[in-house]
């Protein structure tokens, strides 16, 4: 029996630099599969993106209510939530629409990471819980960025043996 992964471009692997997690991203029967390399679990990307969006919005509520932070609040809330929305839309679409939606996500993940880094550099709070949550969001944003970079690279590859 032939493996669907070979028909649809093989697998793409990468290593997350901050904590050494390895993922495998591939298509199987025209469905996107993301697995942790050891195969212990399949990553539920939709749920992970929903959690990230909610966590971003909760974190933004902790920013001081000053005019200077309005742009950060606005931009990060848009980029931090649009990845999940675009990913969800990509799942109920044709392959062409999937590619279009998925190509938006790496840009949004990079933008989210940028705004989180701005917040980090501003050193808004020295409170331990605030800094811990910011570090966690930065780590998650980096991982999401790598996941979407891998998916994006994968969908740009021509499908092997396609009619």
Give the dihedral sign, CA 114/97/162/41: positive
Name the residue ranges covered by the structural domains of the chain: 44-156
d(C-alpha 34, C-alpha 25), whole Å: 5
Q: What is the pLDDT of residue 8?
A: 42
Instruction: Report which of 152, 75, 143 is spatially closest to residue 112, judged by C-alpha positions.
Output: 75
- Splitting the chain (163 residues) into consecutive groups of 10 residues, what average pLDDT does each group show? 39 44 65 61 80 97 94 97 93 83 94 98 93 96 92 73 46
Q: What is the pLDDT of residue 16?
A: 45
The CATH architecture that domain 44-156 belongs to is Up-down Bundle (1.20)
Q: What is the pLDDT of residue 90?
A: 87
pTM for the full predicted model: 0.74
């Amino acid at each position: 029996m032939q493996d669907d992964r070979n028909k649809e471009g093989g697998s793409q692997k990468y290593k997350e630099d901050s904590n050494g997690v390895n993922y495998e991203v591939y298509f199987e029967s025209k469905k996107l599969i993301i697995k942790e390399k050891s195969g212990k679990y399949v990553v539920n990307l939709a749920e992970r993106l929903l959690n990230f969006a909610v966590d971003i919005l909760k974190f933004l509520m902790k920013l001081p209510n000053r005019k200077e932070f309005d742009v950060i609040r606005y931009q990060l809330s848009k980029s931090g939530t649009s990845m999940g929305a675009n990913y969800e839309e990509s799942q109920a679409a044709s392959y062409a629409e999937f590619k279009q939606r998925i190509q938006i996500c790496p840009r949004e993940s990079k933008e989210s990471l940028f705004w989180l880094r701005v917040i980090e550099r501003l050193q808004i709070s020295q409170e331990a819980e605030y800094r811990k949550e910011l570090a966690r969001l930065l780590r998650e944003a980096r991982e999401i960025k790598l996941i979407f970079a891998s998916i994006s690279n994968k969908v740009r590859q021509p499908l092997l043996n396609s009619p």
